[in-house]
Structures are given as C-alpha cells and as structure tokens.
A and B are shown apart, each in its own frame.
Chain A
Amino acid sequence: MHIGTDSPVRLAEARLELGEVNAALALILPEQRAALLLVTVEGLSYREAAEIAECPVGTIMSRLARARVALMKRLGAESAGRRSTDNVRAQ
C-alpha cells in the first residue's frame, strides 16, 4: 500500500480507511483491541505490551492473534479486491 502522497484521491481513501478501521476496532473485544493498538499501532513488543497489560506474553499473543484475525475479516469483507498483497513482501 502506498502511503504518504498528498493527492485528494489518496486522502479521501485514507478517510474511508479510517472509518473502516474505526468500525472494525469497535467490534473487537477491549482486551484484544488494546493488544492490537499497543503492538500494531504503537509498535510495542509483546513483552512491553504484556507488562502494560499485566498479563503473560502468551496472553498478549493470543489476544493479538484474535484481534488481527477479527480485523482481517472485517476489513477484508469491506475492502476485498481494493488492495494488493504487496505488503507481505514489504514486511
């Protein structure tokens, strides 16, 4: 996914994505959502997230996996076909 351009089309798409993301996050359980935001958005390690959440790393791992799957299903259902899978190679 190409980000960082200033084109109106891209900005409009970003707003759409933000709406989709907000809607998807609202459907994820709070503990799973927290793990997702701490690790995926804020970039914390599993260990750091576990310290904040005061739970074992394995619990964070489990919560995060469920959150990621839920996010994938939700966003995939709404945006299927809109994006490529280039990010797999990029990550």
Chain B
Amino acid sequence: MSGLSDERLVAYLDGELDAPERHCVAAVIESDAALRERAAALTESAAMLRAALDEVLREDVPESLLSAAHGKGAAVDDKSPDFGRRELALWARSWRGRRYWRGAAVAASFLCLAIGAGGGYFAATAPALTGQEAATGGAPASSWLDNLAGYHKLLINAGANEAGLVDVPANTNADGGRKIVQKLPADFRPPNLKPWGLDFIGARYLINEGRPATQLFYTTDNQKLGPITIVVASSAKPDLAPAYDRRDDINFIYWRHHGHAYALVGTANEGYLWNIAKDIAWQFDAI
C-alpha cells in the first residue's frame, strides 16, 4: 500500500481536501488496490454509523416513550428520536459543552457549592419524602429527565467499557475521587456508595438544557442495582422538594435547591433509590 496517511485518506473521503490535493490522492487510490479496499472499509463503517442512527429515527416510537418525551397530556404530533440516537447525539453535545464549561463563569467552586447546598436541603426534607412531586416549583422539564436518561443509558450500554465515558477518572489511591474535584476544596469527596456495592469510577462534564452539569459514575456487579449516576447541574428554576419520576426504564429521584438541580439516576427500583439518595444526602451534608 502507498504511503498515503490515514489522515489524508479520511480527509479525502470527507471532501476536506482542496482540488489539487484531492486529485493527487484520487490518483494514488486509483493505482493501489489495497488502498481502495481500505477506503471502502472506512467509508462503509462511516455509512454504517450514519445508517444505524438514521434508521432509528425512522422507526415508530412507542406511545409510552412519546408520552415520556412530551409530558403527560402533550399532543403526540411528531416522532421523538429513539434513545439510541439521543445517546449518541448527547455524546457529541456533551463534548461541545466543555467549551462552555471552560468559558462560563461557573467558577472553581461550582460543584462544591452545588453539592454542599443541595445535600443540606435534601437532608432537611428527607423525612417528608413521599415520592410525590412537591407543588412548589413544578416538575422539571421533561427533556431534562429525558436527557439524563440518555446519559445514563450511555453508561449502561458501555458495559465493561464504561471507563471510556469518563472525563475525569476516579483516583484509585486513598484520596479516591480527588482528581474529579481539582476545582473544589480539598475536603470534598464524591459520595461513598461502597456499602451499596457501588464503586465510583469517575465523572464527566455535560451540558443539559444549556447549563453545565457534572455526572458522577458508580458501577456495580449487582445486575439488579445496575450502574448509578448522580447529576448536579446549575438551575434557574425555583427550589423543588425531592421527587420520583421515571423515563422509559430509568428511575429518577431529583430535587432543586439554591440554583442547582440534582438527580440520582438508575434502573434500581424506587425504594432502593430513595435509600441510596438518603445516604447521599447524609454524606453531602457532612461535607
């Protein structure tokens, strides 16, 4: 095979080369059977990527998913993308979001303030946890929970490769998780959920509803419990007491306090999540 680099070959296939270089690469490909085969394989895999996603968009969407996507009572007048497509799109969006994250005045202590304030609020309201949405503040935007469900499914689908989703891996030394909180005070720790069989593996930065968020990843060998994610995001909405909701097969316990939104996300049953949430609240409160 010729000395044509993969960079130039892919750029050629993507139409990113100028005319003289394009003609040059075309001539090289024309004269090299192995290169033609490689170009075909590269094109085929890209087409497969796009086709898999496009096909999902054409599928009929179950009524239940439409209802979840549009909210109760909303008119079902269009087709929502399947979560498979949504997950992949979110991957790109979350990466785009880093630009915002870096540039925004989220400031160094965003996560610290969010978790500290939210933990106290949660603890204060924990005795009244009933699973009912509090009247004050109203429910979160349907798309917010839908997005979180998509992000959570990314973790589920990653399976044994979940570490690949992590932007900031958990430190494996005694200061586990310290790396994630380089922007936070030294005494911050991600909640320790080992008693629940959940291991903290790291975090990633997201943009959800146009606002920065942090997603903490916890995994487990317990298939019934499944992986858990905790999302902390900034929010301009009023405070909201902890409540339960469900999207597709993903359960949520979420609340808002002092300009931040929180969500515990997982496939475990509601009661189990409430218990974990209480534990998380207790740990946040202790920070």
Contacts and interface: CB of A to CB of B under 8 A. Distances in A.
A37 B48 contact: no
Contacts of A91: 13, 43, 47
A17 B52 contact: yes
Contacts of B44: 1, 72, 75-76, 83, 85, 87-88
Contact of B54 (A4, A30, A39, A45): A4
Contact of B157 (A26, A37, A53, A68): A26
Contacts of B1: none
A25 B88 contact: yes
Interface stretch (B4-12, B105-113, B190-198, B229-237): B4-12
B41 A34 contact: no
A74 B56 CA distance: 21
A22 B59 contact: no
Given A25-B91, A26-B158, A29-B164, A72 B41 contact: yes
Contact of A30 (B45, B47, B51, B164): B164
B53 A68 contact: no
Nearest to A27: B161
B164 A26 contact: yes
Given A3-B54, A88-B44, A37 B95 contact: yes
A38 B56 contact: no
A69 B56 contact: no
Contacts of B99: 52-54
Interface residues of A, number: 53
A62 B47 CA distance: 20
Interface in A67-83: 68-69, 71-72, 74-76, 79, 83
Contacts, number: 156
Interface string A45-75: 1100000111000000110111011011011
Contacts of A76: 41, 44-45
B77 interface: no
A78 B122 CA distance: 47
A41 to B, nearest CB: 6
Contacts of A53: 95, 99
B249 interface: no
A23 B45 CA distance: 13
Interface in B12-64: 13-14, 16, 36, 39-56, 58-59
A38 B52 CA distance: 16
Q: Which among B48, B58, B59 has the highest number of chain A CB atoms within 10 Å?
A: B48
A67 B89 CA distance: 16
Nearest to B46: A40
A54 B99 CA distance: 8
Nearest to B156: A22
A46 B11 CA distance: 9
Given A33-B95, A87-B44, A88-B44, 15 more contacts: A1-B44, A3-B54, A4-B55, A17-B48, A20-B48, A27-B164, A41-B89, A71-B49, A72-B42, A75-B48, A76-B45, A85-B40, A85-B43, A85-B44, A87-B47
25 contacts: A3-B54, A3-B55, A4-B54, A4-B58, A10-B55, A14-B55, A17-B52, A26-B158, A26-B162, A27-B161, A36-B49, A38-B95, A39-B14, A41-B88, A46-B16, A52-B95, A54-B99, A61-B10, A61-B16, A64-B7, A71-B49, A72-B42, A75-B44, A79-B48, A87-B44
> Which 5 residue pairs spanning A and B have beta carbons closest together?
A14-B55, A34-B95, A17-B52, A37-B92, A85-B40
